[in-house]
Amino acid sequence: MAKYNTTRFGEIELNEEDIIHFPTGLYGFEKETRFVLMPFDEVDCPLEWMQSLINPALAFVVTDPFIFVPDYEPTLLDSEKKEIGLEPEDPFVIRVIVNIPEAYTEMTANLVGPIAMNRDTQMARQIILTTLKYDTRHYLFSEEVRKANISKV
């Protein structure tokens, strides 16, 4: 077990199998190659923290996009799958980075740059989808929910 200092969680202890390895880092954060997923504040919350183990102050909020966008269809090239130890037909886990503004119902997710993870090897890679079907700031709540929240403020 190894200890890591984090700004948000203090000192955490992790087993090597808990660590997610990004051989090429994340876009814009290429030196950030080791992360761990941590629960968000609430037990049943669909959000997670993806805490860097290199930079104690760096943590992203991530979520399973299928909870909010059931018809989301990220596709990985065979070369991208191979990079994280997957065979072409192997299943993989997808997470997307979330932006949470002050009005939480306005939160968005980056559906263009999902994170694909191989849970068997704990290898991951951020991919870039080339389809125009998705946006980097996709609202997670419907317009109806967003407008209802604004009218209460």
Q: What is the pLDDT of residues 88-112, one digit of tens each?
A: 888 899 999 999 999 888 999 999 9
Predicted local distance difference test score (pLDDT) of residue 103: 87
Q: Is the pLDDT of residue 152 over 90?
A: no
Closest-CA residue to 94 (of 124, 67, 61, 117)? 117
Identify whether the C-beta of residue 141 lies closer than 8 Å to the C-beta of residue 104.
no
What are the structure tokens assigned to 92, written together? 């993989």
4-31 average pLDDT score:
94
Question: Would you place residue 68 in the very low, low, confident or very high pLDDT band (cuts 50, 70, 90)?
Answer: very high
pLDDT at 21 exceeding the cut of 90: yes
Asked if 153 and 50 count as a contact pair (C-beta separation under 8 A), the reply is no
Residue 149 has a pLDDT of 67
Q: What is the pLDDT of residue 42?
A: 66
Q: What are phi and psi of 31, to 5 degrees?
A: -85, -10
Domain count, the chain: 1
pLDDT of 147 reads 81
Average pLDDT of the segment spanning 147-151: 68
Q: Give residue 53's pLDDT.
A: 97
Containing 54, the helix (H) or strand (E) segment is none
Please report where in the chains the tokens 């993806």 appear, as a residue.
50
> What pLDDT, on a 0 to 100 scale, did the predictor assign at position 153?
45
Tell me how far apart the terminal alpha carbons of the chain are, to the nearest angstrom: 47
- Residue 81's domain comprises 2-152
Average per-residue pLDDT for the chain: 92
For residue 104, give the CATH number of its domain: 2.30.290.10
Q: What H or E segment, with its residue span, contains residue 38?
A: strand 34-39
